Amino acid sequence: MATGTSIVRHEQAARLAAFTRVATDSVDDAADAVGRIFCPHRLTPEHRTSPDFFALHNCAVFGGLSVNYVAYGGSVSIDPGCLERFFLLQIPVHGSARIKTASRDIATVPGASASLLSPTIPTRMAWEGDCAQIILLVDRRLLEQRAAALSGRPMSAVEFEPAVDLSSAGGRALQSRVMEFVDLAERLGPRRPLSPVAAADMREALLGALLHRQRHNASDAIDRFGGRAEAMPPSVRRAREFLHAHADEPLDLVQLAAAAGVGIRALQLGFRRHFGTSISEMLRDIRLAQLNARLIAASPDDSVTDIAFELGFTHLSRTASAYRAKFGEAPSVTLRGMNSGVAS
């Protein structure tokens, strides 16, 4: 696409410069090209014939996630409606932005505040003053499956508090993780793929930062199921750790109670009180979460059956039914889906 002089001036500060997907001074071309990468949207410059308008979009994709540098010259309004397929964490690096949802109106500026858009919440934005942002795109299914794994509940829509305070510990952690992603992509370049292990580590770090550092409608359930809502007795903590360490083995309540240092009945009551679930249900959820994580990290040639057996599942039809009830899709769909890419 045509590159205008405004873009040339701005590119000196652009991140992910080797990953350019859009560089144009045409409003229509920008809306079409950026819309194909993210989602269809209305793009309206403050002044339609402004000589300052340009659009620059650099995008690096790594299985289920992409990190982007997006900049617009002048001031523009963007109306994507509901994102539907993904979450967007937008960290401004130049200029400012205003984000309006059905119930919120927030402003973001570099170093102070960012925005986190959820796929089910309609959004309108105004990018002002040659605004440029680092944007993390996270596949909706990937994040909502991870929230289900952490909360002990079936997969459902996750909606974040849209304002991210970059001066808070959680905001700093989120920004740090995203910038690590940007730095890694720039070191690798577009021709060098990220190794499966490194991709899995990056994915886990980013998902963990999002779900644990920014409030959302599943936060309380995750805190309770993870034992963070209140102080856990040492016996319950030891039992939970034992289940995680021995999830691929048959459940032995006598052995579990011995490891916890309390009687079986006391342990059962402790699980109900602190996690809202039974020991066997907890173990099943741990195994299903491990299966989900393994499928996400697996290659297309890996077998769902082999992975399931390694994790202690013996009844594959029951396993598939339980997995579908929790994550909203069959295990084979997760395996295929994570090898098809996102925002590519």
Percent of the chain's residues with pLDDT above 90: 71
Per-residue pLDDT at 229: 52
Quick one: pLDDT band at residue 340, thresholds 50, 70, 90?
low
What's the whole-model pTM score? 0.85
Confidence check: pLDDT of 9 > 60: no
Contact indicator for 126, 76 with CB cutoff of 8 Å: yes
Give the distance between the most distant pair of CA atoms in the chain: 76
The whole-angstrom separation of Cα 83 and Cα 100 is: 14
Domains and CATH numbers, the chain: 5-221 (2.60.120.10), 237-337 (1.10.10.60)
Q: Which two tokens stand for residue 123?
A: 């959004």
83-136 confidence digits (pLDDT tens) = 999 999 999 999 999 999 988 899 999 999 999 999 999 999 999 999 999 999
Instruction: Please measure the distance between the N-terminal and C-terminal CA atoms of the chain and give it in whole angstroms.
Output: 18
Rg (CA), the chain: 22
Quick one: pLDDT band at residue 316, thresholds 50, 70, 90?
confident
Contact indicator for 122, 101 with CB cutoff of 8 Å: yes
Contact indicator for 199, 69 with CB cutoff of 8 Å: no
Q: For residue 122, give the H/E element and its range.
A: none
32-74 confidence digits (pLDDT tens) = 999 999 999 999 998 766 678 999 999 999 877 899 999 999 9
209-266 confidence digits (pLDDT tens) = 999 999 999 999 998 887 765 677 889 989 999 999 998 888 899 999 999 999 999 9
Q: Looking up tokens 């974040």, which residue turns up?
A: 160
Residues in the chain: 344
CB under 8 Å, gap of 24 or more: what pairs does 187-195 form?
A: 189/18, 190/18, 190/19, 190/60, 194/62
